[in-house]
Amino acid sequence: MIFGPTPLDQAEGAILAHSVNAGGLRMKKGRTLTADDTAALAKAGIVEVVAARLEADDVDEDTAANSIAAACRGAGARLQEAFTGRCNLYADEPGIVVLDAARVDRLNRIHEAITIATLAPNEAVRAGQMLATIKIIPFAAPRAAVDEAIAIASEGAPLLQIAPYRARQAGLIMTTLPGTKAKVLDKTAAVLRDRLERLGSALVAEQRCAHAADAVAAAVQSQLDQGLDPILIFGASAITDRRDEVPAGIVAAGGEIEHFGMPVDPGNLLLLANQGGRAVIGLPGCARSPKLNGFDWVLQRLLADRPVGRDEITAMGAGGLLKEIPSRPQLRAGDAAEGAPKAPRIAALILAAGQSRRMGAANKLLAEIDGKAMLARVVAAAQASQVARILAVTGHQADDVAAALSALGIDSVHNPDYADGLSTSLHAGVAALGDDIDGVIVLLGDMPRITPSHINRLIAAFNPVEGRAICVPTYQGKRGNPVLFAARFFAEMTTVGGDSGAKYLIGQHEDDLAEVPMDDDGIFLDVDTPDALTAIRAAPFD
């Protein structure tokens, strides 16, 4: 890669390394300069820019990041397309991170341009939580280094995958001594029930018995006979030895003690046993609390069918100090930290309320192209993308359009003021999105060449923290549709008027704008006239 001051006559196709703001001209870092760009720079009096020019043995940052991330990804992980050289992997389902840390280290030692950061092995995650980020230090990586990284990531089992939780039916046994309060036992059962349910399992049986080995043995046998697994035992008095009442009762019921004690605090006095392949666990007192403790680590692995025995427990000491650390989030079982990075929840808002005046009597959105209605093609692109929700806005011929949307499984909201312009549909749609949405992609129902790739590329670029709160697609330097807006603009979106939609916001918030290059001109094509419909029907489509 050639990097440094670059004369404008050599800058076409180069990547701008520093933003330019001169003579009313603004171009952001990372922009691939076109001939029009270099002409505009020259007109602004700029004779050279600091830029990167890729050579034959370079792989551009997004291609490199995507390729390495795809090689790392295993079951239960999904890839979000790279943007600015960063490709993130997210959990598709709750479970445990299964990770080859040694291969991660090898990847990070290949070349300074290639980095991968992951969660810790065996960390519990929820659906949508970020698992890893692959970042290419701008703006390219050597092809040989990328090939080596892909080879390492592809060795044997996937480098990173999710072991999902498997629903189990668990049993609970609590021993009692004179003076044991029923209220304490009730609270303990409620905490454990909540812990299990958060991991997709259920507490289906609870027994209380005397704190004596024979009573424990009878209770364990009863729950074994019911097919319960795991069986959790809370002693009225803490286990202090393998020969104490609770472990003695487990052995009397045919169980085998695998390990007593663990190098995790809180959680030291956990006892792990099994009977016929079913886990029987003597619980430490800290498991009465919803706060994270050593029992959570054991339970999570058990329910994800991950190995957990003496070797695994004795390896938990590094990082096993969980108490009295204010900076460490105290989690309930199965929860990820409140601030854990997660995939943004982006809604697709399909505007389908227009009157099609230039098309004639027919509703253009229901006109077929290669056997599929134009609106259905836009819906299909959204459904195949990474959006979290799809909502359409109806208006003209609302019953027919709503019926077509319903047949496609799409919810809609009606805009009674559709004749007053596109902005009214925007108001109606944004108001119906709800509070759990991080942003919205505004899709026009008459743009049938929009693809899932267009949508996913916008989502990949979206990062309000890094100044990318409005994402606009471009092709050869020209802006098109759809556009992604962060949720913080929703209130402002309800104030725009006429047929211009939210274009006004783009001009008002240039500092929050990211231009996202696309590979084709589908972001420009809308079908407004019978001639345009005839032309698109005549052209190869899929």
**Would strands 25-27 and 20-22 be described as parallel, antiparallel, or unpaired?**
antiparallel
What is the reported pLDDT for 530? Answer: 82
Domain 169-292 class, CATH top level: alpha beta
pLDDT tens-place string over residues 72-94: 999 999 999 999 999 999 999 99
Q: Average pLDDT, stretch 491-500?
A: 78
Higher pLDDT, 154 or 507: 154
What pLDDT is stored for residue 500 in this prediction? 66
The burial class, CB within 10 Å (0-12 / 13-18 / 19+), for 107 is buried
pLDDT at 222 over 70: yes
pLDDT for res 499: 67
Beta strands 160-164 and 95-99 are antiparallel
Q: Considering the chain, what is the average pLDDT of its residues? A: 92
Lowest-confidence pick of 236-245, 356-365, 521-530:
356-365
Whether 325 has a pLDDT exceeding 60, the answer reads: no
pLDDT at residue 338, rounded to an integer: 53
C-alpha to C-alpha distance for 397 and 194, rounded to whole angstroms: 49
The position carrying tokens 């171009």 is: 27
Six token digits for residue 489: 């603009």
DSSP secondary structure, 172-196, as one string: EEEEE-TT--HHHHHHHHHHHHHHH
| Count of CB atoms situated within 10 Å of the CB of 2 | 12
pLDDT at res. 537 = 85
> Are 2-53 and 169-292 equal in CATH topology?
no
* Superfamily of 346-538 according to CATH: Spore Coat Polysaccharide Biosynthesis Protein SpsA; Chain A (3.90.550.10)
* pLDDT higher than threshold 70 for residue 360: no
For the entire predicted model, the pTM comes to 0.85
pLDDT at 220 exceeding the cut of 70: yes
> DSSP of 210-224, one letter per residue?
ESSHHHHHHHHHHHH
pLDDT score, position 330: 44
Q: Which of 108-117, 352-361, 456-465 has the highest mean pLDDT?
A: 108-117
pLDDT above 70 covers a percentage of the chain that reads 94
Average pLDDT over every residue of 213-230: 97
**Which tens digit of pLDDT belongs to each residue from 400-438?**
999 999 999 999 999 999 888 888 999 999 999 988 999
Give bridge partners of residue 134 from the DSSP assignment: 87, 116
Thinking of the domain 2-53, which architecture would CATH place it in?
Alpha-Beta Complex (3.90)
In the block, which residue shows the tokens 């009863």? 222
Name the phi and psi angles at 252, rounded to 5: -65, -25
pLDDT 10s digits, 264-274: 999 999 999 99
The whole-number pLDDT of residue 542 equals 62
Nearest alpha carbon to residue 423 among 366, 505, 363, 488: 505
- 292 has a pLDDT exceeding 90: yes
Count of residues in the chain: 542
pLDDT at 159 over 90: yes
**pLDDT, mean of residues 159-184:** 96
pLDDT of 456 > 50? The answer is yes
| Closest by Cα among 248, 338, 323, 251 to 285 | 323
pLDDT computed for residue 475 by the predictor = 92
Q: Which of 405, 409, 438, 442 is nearest to 427 (CA)?
A: 442
CATH (residue range 58-164): 3.90.1170.30
pLDDT the model gives residue 364: 86
Residues paired with 208 in a beta bridge: 174
Distances, alpha carbon 61 to alpha carbons 32, 366, 466, 513, in Å: 12, 41, 18, 21
